[in-house]
Structure 1
């Protein structure tokens, strides 16, 4: 009886420890609040052509669309049950540019930098899919940490003052129980470019977790 009680107490303690750790992890990468000026706007990141870029100089007249992405996540590249958001990237880039925004992709999967998310693999992916926007390497997931980016993809739309005006998912196509299609990102871009209020400025990001290196 005493042994059983000891085991039970140990399991309870372990469960609480796991819960506390999970909570700490979630708090550590808390997504930036809407309206806040984003950090690291002059942080240098390498593009696939070898040139360095930063958020501030990459922005269009109305702002910048930042998409945290990768080469392998089914939510990005697609699967048998979901077409993947990557298929929309070039269309989104054109849509953004037409509304005064520019778009960049960020790869923060540092734990896979020697594997599927290596610079060479990124080059191959960009060429294969005909990316029309820069695809940048976020070394050590520094920008992802600063933004509180959680998933691939995770969307951050910034205005011309580098303030966050939309964050979350591209649309609701991954929601199997949706009653109608809703493109959160395009709606936000259209509203912002017209000087209107964004009706839905935050949605839960959907995708695979960003593969950070444990520190």
Structure 2
């Protein structure tokens, strides 16, 4: 009985070791190499020396629609004006909700007045899983040294109601301002909310 129990524990430990560790704030952000809507390849290393925002998105998600009534665009414009690289990431797999082609991506960016630096296509989900991205939106802030400084929700009220944006604590915006000022976000990790990512 003891031997069986030991073998089960050993197998569990071996399995756990084979699973990619979740990203940790204060540690180097996971690397990635993906194409954008123009077919250009981007890697995290390309943005060394710059603050980077990652925004997981799905245009069909009501929570994303809520923030694209103007809030997300304002955040994109304000942060890119400060030299931040803003990367919107689509991890929806082909055939699943939220999956789009490059033409649709460009049309959405234009029609919504969105202002990301680039829209990244993560069809195989490798990038999303490396970041443990779970919802749309799910927000991340990486500093100039490539260190993950914030991950979590865009704000504190997990609803799809536009009117709740003004009442919520803007966790992500506050984290972005802190990183731009060379400070550590507090809180640095919050619970994301939205639609599940369709890997």
**TM bin (shorter chain):** 0.7 to 0.9
2:104 pairs with 1:148: no
Distance 1:169 1:197 in 2: 17
Distance 1:29 1:184 in 2: 26
Normalising by the residue count of structure 2, what TM-score does the alignment of the two structures yield? 0.77
2:54 pairs with 1:70: no
Structure with more helix by fraction: 1
Q: Report if aligned partners of 2:92, 2:98 keep a CA contact under 8 Å in 1.
A: no
Distance 2:83 2:100 in 1: 31
Which of 158, 170, 176 aligns to 1:183? It is 170
1:5-154 alignment, distance < 5 Å: 31-41=22-32, 43=33, 45-58=34-47, 61-77=49-65, 84-86=66-68, 87-112=70-95, 116-119=98-101, 120-133=103-116, 134-154=118-138
Higher alpha-carbon Rg: 1
Distance 1:51 1:210, change over 3 A: same
Distance 1:168 1:116 in 2: 20
In the other structure, the counterpart of 1:192 is 179
In the other structure, the counterpart of 1:19 is none
Distance 1:190 1:169 in 2: 15
Distance 1:124 1:112, change over 3 A: farther
Q: Where does structure 2 lack aligned partners over 5 or more consecutive residues?
A: 1-14
In the other structure, the counterpart of 1:158 is 142
- State the Cα RMSD in Å: 2.7
TM-aligned CA deviation for residue 163 of structure 1: 1.1
Distance 1:146 1:111, change over 3 A: same
